[in-house]
Amino acid sequence: MTATNAGRAVRPRGPSGGSESVLDKAVLEFNARGYDATSMEDLSRAVGITKSSFYHHFAGKEALLRAALERALDGLFSALEEPPGAEAPAGPSERLRRIVTRQVRVLMDELPYVTLLLRVRGNTDTERWALERRREYDGQIAALVQAAADAGEIREGVDPVLAARLLSGLVNSVAEWYRPGRRGMSGLPEEVARAAVEGILPTSH
């Protein structure tokens, strides 16, 4: 929750709900056209306000991108934390399983924002900052995989850096095909976490 509030604090104040709704629409536009190809004109048209109203909410296109990527990153980093009052995980391996579950849930809840984050290639300062934060996240996951290996919880010979990359790849690939409102998807976070621990093609015993 702290991370999310921190994210909110940097957004400019506008009329109640105004900046949120502007951001939602801008993100859809960035995803449809690509950030580089989206002009302030495109954004004003998509949001349905004038360019000057737009600048009331955000200093410009890159400020919008920054606010959107912050929202995605705040969600991602919040997945690292246990919710208040939750029982402590039994060890690093159980903690990782819960993180993967929460990370998929954030992706499902914040799909357009996470999609935007995943398409970032590092063309602007803001994009490079977002890539840096993603690397930081992957580093924290790799450290947890190492801790799980040190605790003897996961099979010997697993490379923590590769495991962190594959975990991130497995989770993020959900954004390629998941669409909100699909039926029978409520168990998806747990299914992805199970696949991470037991295999996508687990051998029957």
Residues that bind its own copies (CB under 8 A): 34, 36-37, 93, 96-97, 145, 148, 152-156, 158-159, 162-163, 165-170, 172-174, 176-177, 188, 191-192, 195-205
Identify which of residues 19 and 101 has a Cβ nearer to its own copies in the complex.
101
Identify which of residues 19 and 115 has a Cβ nearer to its own copies in the complex.
115
Residue tagged 């914040």 (tokens): 110
Min dist CB 202 to its own copies, Å, is: 4
Identify which of residues 56 and 105 has a Cβ nearer to its own copies in the complex.
105
Identify which of residues 143 and 158 has a Cβ nearer to its own copies in the complex.
158
Min dist CB 201 to its own copies, Å, is: 5
Identify which of residues 20 and 153 has a Cβ nearer to its own copies in the complex.
153
Question: Is-contact 175 118, C-beta < 8 A?
Answer: yes
In this structure, what token pair is assigned to residue 67? 């606010």
Task: Give the max Cα distance, the chain.
Answer: 64
Question: Is-contact 173 165, C-beta < 8 A?
Answer: no
Min dist CB 62 to its own copies, Å, is: 18
Selection from 178, 5, 160 nearest residue 78 by Cα: 5
Query: CA torsion angle for 31, 35, 39, 45 (degrees, to 10)?
Result: 20
Min dist CB 47 to its own copies, Å, is: 22
Min dist CB 112 to its own copies, Å, is: 15
Selection from 106, 101, 75, 97 nearest residue 145 by Cα: 97
